[in-house]
Amino acid sequence: GPALRDPASPPDWYPDGLAHVWLPYAQMKTAVPPLPVVATHGSRLVLANGRELVDGVASWWTACHGYNHPHIAAAVARQLRAMPHVMLGGLLHEPAARLATRLAALLPADLERVFFTDSGSVAVEVAMKMAVQYWINSGVRGRTRFVAFRGGYHGDTTGTMAVCDPDDGMHRLFHGLLPEQIIADLPRDEETTAALERLLGERGDEIAGILVEPLVQGAGGMLFHDAAVLQRLRALADRHGTLLIFDEIFTGFGRTGTMFACDAAGVVPDILTLSKALTGGTLPLAATVASRRVFDGFWSDDPMHALMHGPTFMGNALACAAANASLDLFEREPRLDQVRAIEAQMTTELAACRGLPGVVDVRVRGAIGVVELDRVDIPALKARFVEAGVYVRPFGRIVYLTPAFTIGTADLARLTGSIVRVLSMR
Ligand code: PLP
């Protein structure tokens, strides 16, 4: 109850922390104060007062194996003793080498060249720079814009804000700072496909690439589309000679039911971005993976044709060791079966939200469960979820679940049951 929102005896670091830490997306004056969390295990957050919350979000859908998986912890500890970090400037180490090799083997076709960064936003920035420079290296001038889609979200940096849905609100303040990009409707039907075809016909020579979150647009609204949309995008990109970029930062590593969304769609993009669950949610790491065609555009005797990017901590050895351990778990444990079981359970249990006041839609794909409302009083909802013993973080008009794939049926039922109960109280 209220003791959680205003902890009666918070840990000693909490008051000073509140005075000095600037939290994301939060009006610091009016936001419900953050919950002091002291430990995690499995699908649970342990609060300072000893209470445990079932985590429905998996820390922005990263912790796919649950928290504190011993296999990842052991791999990171081993790597910490051997070599926590060296730059990739002129050096290469085993964790990065093995990880790149394994990602190339897992991804379809010739997506085989991996550029490491530290966050999803930067992986998308790199994908954009890669596409722009690919055309420059190929002697084609003027292809500096991207087609991205309404409902899309690709990050919070300057380059990526410009390819997010402009009406989403979260980046509107910064429009003056952002390069002009082209935001279109996804080609869901004949009309939107024809519109995109027209756009590419008219402005194709400005366009470096088409950027899309395949199958599920995540932070822009948890919107689903089917494989046919991606097949149309592939055909349009080919017909108009532009690159196709899949941002799989949300969808990668099983979240939608296959290892990557592109597998389900049977579509191979030219560039693909990964992050979030890449390390099982333990350490920051991202990857921008290029097809052979794109990499060949940089293969030259001209030093100016090199990819001009190089974050200090790229390919951090601890993060790569964590990612390798995470891939071990995907090999050894039935993660995709677990996703199917979660999908089935959420489909059954969230159906009870249909017909509740203000519920506009209920949709489930893989380990993503979404209840869309006509409006949301977010602070009130958040407080009720905490009272119910779950951590669910609604945004926009969306209440969603992206649990760990290892969540048990009882904890998942606790999450879905809390959503049904809390939404019944509105
Ligand atoms: N792209 C997609 C599809 C995402 O879901 C996110 C994060 O939510 C990002 C990019 C940005 O990643 P990061 O927050 O690591 O910068």
**What number is the ipTM of this complex?**
0.99
CATH number of the domain where residue 105 is located:
3.40.640.10
Q: Which of 332, 347, 382 is at the close of a domain?
A: 332
Contact 206, 150 (CB under 8 A): no
Tell me, yes or no, whether 23 and 75 share the same domain.
Answer: no
pTM score: 0.97
Q: Taking residues 221-237, what's their average pLDDT?
A: 98
Query: How confident is the model over 318-330, as pLDDT tens digits?
Result: 999 999 999 999 9
pLDDT band at residue 170 using 50, 70 and 90 as cut-offs: confident
For residues 290 and 338, membership in a common domain is answered with no
CA distance 37 to 276: 20
- Domain finish residue from 297, 332, 367: 332
**49 plus 159 within the same structural domain:** no
Q: Are residues 107 and 30 in the same domain?
A: no
Q: Are 320 and 99 in contact (CB under 8 A)?
A: yes
Q: Same domain for 299 and 351?
A: no
Same domain for 222 and 364, yes or no, is no
Is the pLDDT at 198 greater than 90, yes or no?
yes
- Verify that 95 and 237 share a domain, yes or no: yes
In angstroms, the CA 172 to CA 184 distance is 17
What is the per-residue DSSP string for 140-162? -----EEEEETT----SSHHHHT
135 is in an annotated binding site: no
Cα 172-178-181 angle, rounded to 5 deg: 95
Q: How many CB atoms lie within 10 A of CB 213?
A: 26
Q: Residue 274: exposed, middle, or buried by beta-carbon count in 10 A (0-12, 13-18, 19+)?
A: buried
- The pLDDT of 74-96, averaged and rounded, is 98
Query: DSSP 3-state assignment of 219?
Result: coil
Reduced to 3 states, what is the DSSP secondary structure of residue 399? strand
> How far is CA 198 from each of CA 191, 202, 225, 237, rounded to the nearest angstrom?
11, 6, 21, 13
Give how far Cα 25 sits from Cα of 57, 169, 258, 383, 390, Å.
16, 12, 31, 17, 21
Can you give the residue range of the structural domain that contains 398? 2-65+334-424
Query: Whole-angstrom Cα distance, residue 100 to residue 116?
Result: 9
Residues contacting 237, CB < 8 A, separation 6+: 209, 210, 243, 244, 270
Q: How confident is the model at residue 2 (pLDDT cuts 50, 70, 90)?
A: very low
Q: What is the pLDDT of the chain when averaged over all its residues?
A: 95
Same domain, 237 and 131: yes
**Is residue 3 very low, low, confident or very high in pLDDT (cuts 50, 70, 90)?**
very low
> Of 332, 365, 393, which residue constitutes the final position of a domain?
332
Q: Give the CATH number of the domain where residue 348 resides.
A: 3.90.1150.10
Number of independent structural domains in the chain:
2
Q: How much is the CA Rg of the chain, to the nearest whole Å?
A: 22
* pLDDT value, residue 251: 98
Q: Say whether both 292 and 410 belong to one domain.
A: no
Annotated active-site residue in 67, 153, 391, 400: 153
Start-end of H helices in 107-144: 120-137
Region 102-127: mean pLDDT is 98
The pLDDT of 37-44, averaged and rounded, is 98
Span from the CA of 153 to the centroid of ligand 1 (angstroms): 7
pLDDT of 8 reads: 61
Q: What is the pLDDT of residue 426?
A: 75
- What number is the average pLDDT over the span 115-138? 98
Write out residues with Cβ below 6 Å of ligand 1. 60, 119-121, 124, 153-155, 213, 218-219, 247, 249-250, 275
CB proximity list for 98: less than 8 A, separation 6 or greater: 320, 324
Report the Cα–Cα distance between both ends of the chain, in Å, rounded: 18
pLDDT of residue 4: 42
DSSP string computed for 181-200: -EEE----SHHHHHHHHHHH
Give the residue with greater pLDDT, 19 vs 6: 19
Q: What six digits make up the tokens of 394? A: 């609604």
Indicate whether 24 pLDDT > 60.
Answer: yes
Residues 266, 142 share a domain: yes
Of 118, 247, 270, 411, which one is the catalytic site residue?
A: 247
Same domain, 151 and 233: yes
Q: Are 338 and 328 in the same domain?
A: no
| pLDDT on residue 134 | 98
The average pLDDT across 317-343 equals 98
Write down the pLDDT at residue 1: 37
Determine contact, residues 57/402, Cβ cutoff 8 Å.
Answer: yes
Centre of ligand 1 from the C-alpha of residue 21, in Å: 21
